[in-house]
Amino acid sequence: MKDAVDPKKILSDLNKTVDQILISFEALEDWGPSGNRPDQYTSDVVADQVIADSLVASGYRILSEESENLSGEGLMAVVDPLDGSTNASRGLPWFATSLCVVDEYGPLVAVVADLVHSVRYEAIRGEGSFKDGEKLLRTDNPKLPESIIGISGLPPHNPGWAQFRSLGAIALDLCAVADGRLDGFVDCSPDAHGIWDYLGASLVCAEAGVEVVDSQGRNLKELDRSIRRTPVAGAGDLHTKLLDFRQGF
């Protein structure tokens, strides 16, 4: 019989990994390109190695943006070692580590750590989501003309929202919808995001009462590093309005 899965133990493992990433960044002097590929930075590589050393040693398999899958027999951890690494390389204070462990039913435990402001979003499926220990739950119904929306990419026009923000780290953007700082999020680029970008934050959102879907109705939880998706999220009825907008281009 397999050992019972303990979500609290998983949560502890993920938080310990974030702690180690923060320590590794204290000594990091080169935040520039890694030289391995055009969209990768030294910080990505450093964080990815920390995750491999920490989580593989604890028995997890890894699906990472930055390296090939690391095999094993444990649960899969879908990881973005540094979401917003371009921001980090330019000193823009909006970047995070996203870690999400999945089981046979989908996302189980997630930690999205805002590495600039020392804020952690945590979620366990069926047990809620939290920001630094405080429970998140959105029950409001923001109106589009009064809403502030996070975007990635360039929208063809303004559908009537009050303002928008293009912040550059989707994991934090989605968590900002969960905690109410943003009212919604629209990915305006076609199929630009891998599962590591949004999976952890989508669990945080789901447990906070915010729906995250793909603009074309595709599965957001496929564990395939080649797949890209177009996430849309919104609080209350705003979700439908933003989805209709995104499906229009």
Q: What is the pLDDT of residues 173-227, one digit of tens each?
A: 999 999 999 999 999 999 999 999 999 999 999 999 999 999 999 999 999 999 9
pLDDT, residue 72, reads 67
Indicate if the pLDDT at residue 2 is higher than 80: no
Strands, E, within 50-183: which ranges? 61-64, 76-83, 96-103, 106-114, 119-124, 128-131, 134-136, 148-152, 163-165
Residue found under tokens 């303004």: 158
What does the pLDDT read at residue 1?
Answer: 35
d(CA 117, CA 44): 19
Residue extents of the structural domains in the chain: 7-136, 144-247
Poorest-confidence range of 62-76, 132-146, 151-165? 62-76
Checking if the pLDDT of 117 tops 50, the result is: yes
Decide: 83 and 95 in contact? Cβ < 8 Å.
yes
Of 137, 103, 107, the residue nearest 125 (C-alpha): 107
Confidence (pLDDT) at 76: 96
Least confident range from 1-5, 27-31, 172-176: namely 1-5
Q: What is the mean pLDDT of residues 96-117?
A: 98
How does pLDDT run across 219-247, given as a tens digit for each residue? Answer: 999 999 999 999 999 999 999 999 999 99
Q: Tell me the pairing of strands 184-187 and 163-165.
A: unpaired
Portion of the chain with pLDDT greater than 70, in percent? 97
Q: In Å, how far are 1, 7, 89, 199, 242 from 151, measured between CA atoms? A: 46, 32, 20, 17, 11
Residue 77 near residue 62 (C-beta atoms within 8 A): yes
The stretch 146-163 carries a mean pLDDT of 97
For the segment 115-132, the average pLDDT, to the nearest whole number, is 98
CA pair distance 223, 187, nearest whole angstrom: 20
pLDDT digits (tens, 9 = 90+) for 34-49: 989 888 999 999 999 9
Residue 176 phi/psi, 5-degree rounding, is -70, -25
Give the end-to-end CA distance of the chain in Å, rounded to a whole number.
50
- What does CATH list as the number for 7-136? 3.30.540.10
Q: What is the identity of the amino acid at 218?
A: R
The per-residue pLDDT for 73 is 77
Strand partners, 113: 97, 120
pLDDT surpassing 50 at residue 77: yes
CATH number of 144-247: 3.40.190.80
